[in-house]
């Protein structure tokens, strides 16, 4: 087992130095937080599910020509990614009213927006990630107008693709958050998609029942958080064989959750990293 230098520990993930220059290992924890850490808990198995779900989505996006940081999954909790200089923005794309948008304009959650809405939040926990305009972004030097055009174009493309992907598995993509970063190839700079795409940063509602299948279950104390994430992974077809069928003969969500806990205990940071 090789121990690598830890670069950063965030609320949901840890970044380690990668095996080659310009790479990082992204380790998915089971920690869940809301309100920038005001509320926190551990959801056993969440990291494994998010690692898988994000891998699948990043690979699909690569297929349609969206540049991403994803290189390959290393093990149950880790993936190898290209190191980027993160643009300190949370880019939120909304198809329906929910969450902070519902609060800000006192609108009912679920209302369809006539066109997708893109918002930018300054990524700063101390300030509570305040919403910012493109003018703030440019004036404060976080990104230039060309960067912003690239970010919006990529975000809309990702939204179009993901809406279709989730529609195909009976899920409405209500909204989601993206992060982008800069990557240099000699003199040339390219903006690529970074971080993760998972139920931690998407609102996913069952199309038929409107059941929430995302982190709002944790934020709003609704329970069955892990089961909801598992349902997303199951519908995407990324729940591994041992998790779906394993030693556990029960195919209920709870049965799967239990076998998942067993599986995840086998993995610690860096198992399998060569």
Range 61-80, binding ligand ADP (CB under 6 A): 69
Contact pattern for ligand AIR over residues 150 through 189, marking x by CB under 6 A: -------------------------xxx------------
Of these, 19, 67, 88, 99, which contacts ligand AIR (CB under 6 A)? 99
Instruction: Report residue 161 as tokens.
Output: 């693709």
Q: What is the CA radius of gyration of the chain?
A: 18
Question: Site residues for ligand ASP, window 20-59 (CB under 6 A)?
Answer: 33-37
Span 192-231, contacts to ligand ADP by CB under 6 A: 194-195
Instruction: For 78-107, give the DSSP string.
Output: EEEEE--EE-SEEEEEEEE--HHHHHHHT-
Q: Does 13 bind ligand ADP (CB under 6 A)?
A: yes
Listed residue (45, 29, 43, 42) closest to 260, CA to CA: 45
Least distance to ligand ASP from the beta carbon of 66, Å? 22
In 123-224 the beta strands, taken as DSSP E runs, fall at 131-132, 171-185, 188-194, 202-206
Give the Å distances, CA to CA, from 170 to 111, 122, 131, 209: 18, 32, 31, 10
From 25, 79, 33, select the one nearest 57 (Cα to Cα): 79
> Which positions lie near ligand ADP, rule CB under 6 A?
10-13, 15, 24, 69, 81-84, 86, 179, 181, 194-195
Binding site residues, ligand AIR, CB under 6 A: 90, 92, 98-101, 175-177, 200-203, 215
Residues that bind ligand ASP (CB under 6 A): 11, 33-37, 215, 219
């Amino acid at each position: 087992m090789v121990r690598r230098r830890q670069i950063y520990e965030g609320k949901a993930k840890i970044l380690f130095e990668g095996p080659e220059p310009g790479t990082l290992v992204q380790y998915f924890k089971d920690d869940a937080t809301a309100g920038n850490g005001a509320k926190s808990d551990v959801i056993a198995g969440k990291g494994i599910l998010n690692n898988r779900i994000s891998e699948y989505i990043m690979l699909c996006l690569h297929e349609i020509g969206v540049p991403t940081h994803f290189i390959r999954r290393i093990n149950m909790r880790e993936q190898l990614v290209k190191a980027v200089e993160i643009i300190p923005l949370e880019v939120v794309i909304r198809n329906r009213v929910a969450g902070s948008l519902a609060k800000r304009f006192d609108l009912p959650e679920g209302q369809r927006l006539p066109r997708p809405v893109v918002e930018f939040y300054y990524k700063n926990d101390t300030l509570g990630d305040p919403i910012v305009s493109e003018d703030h972004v440019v004036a404060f030097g976080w990104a230039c107008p060309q960067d912003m055009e690239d970010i919006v174009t990529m975000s809309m493309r990702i939204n179009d693709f993901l809406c279709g992907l989730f529609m195909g598995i009976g899920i409405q993509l209500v909204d989601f958050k993206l992060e982008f970063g800069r990557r240099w190839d000699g003199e040339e700079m390219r903006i690529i998609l970074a971080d993760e795409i998972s139920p931690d940063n998407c609102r996913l509602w069952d199309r038929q029942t409107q059941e929430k299948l995302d982190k709002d279950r944790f934020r709003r104390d609704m329970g069955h958080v892990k089961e909801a994430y598992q349902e997303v992974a199951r519908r995407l077809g990324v729940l591994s064989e041992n998790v779906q069928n394993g030693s556990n003969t029960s195919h209920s969500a709870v049965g799967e959750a239990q076998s998942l806990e067993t599986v995840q205990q086998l993995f610690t940071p860096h198992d399998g990293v060569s």
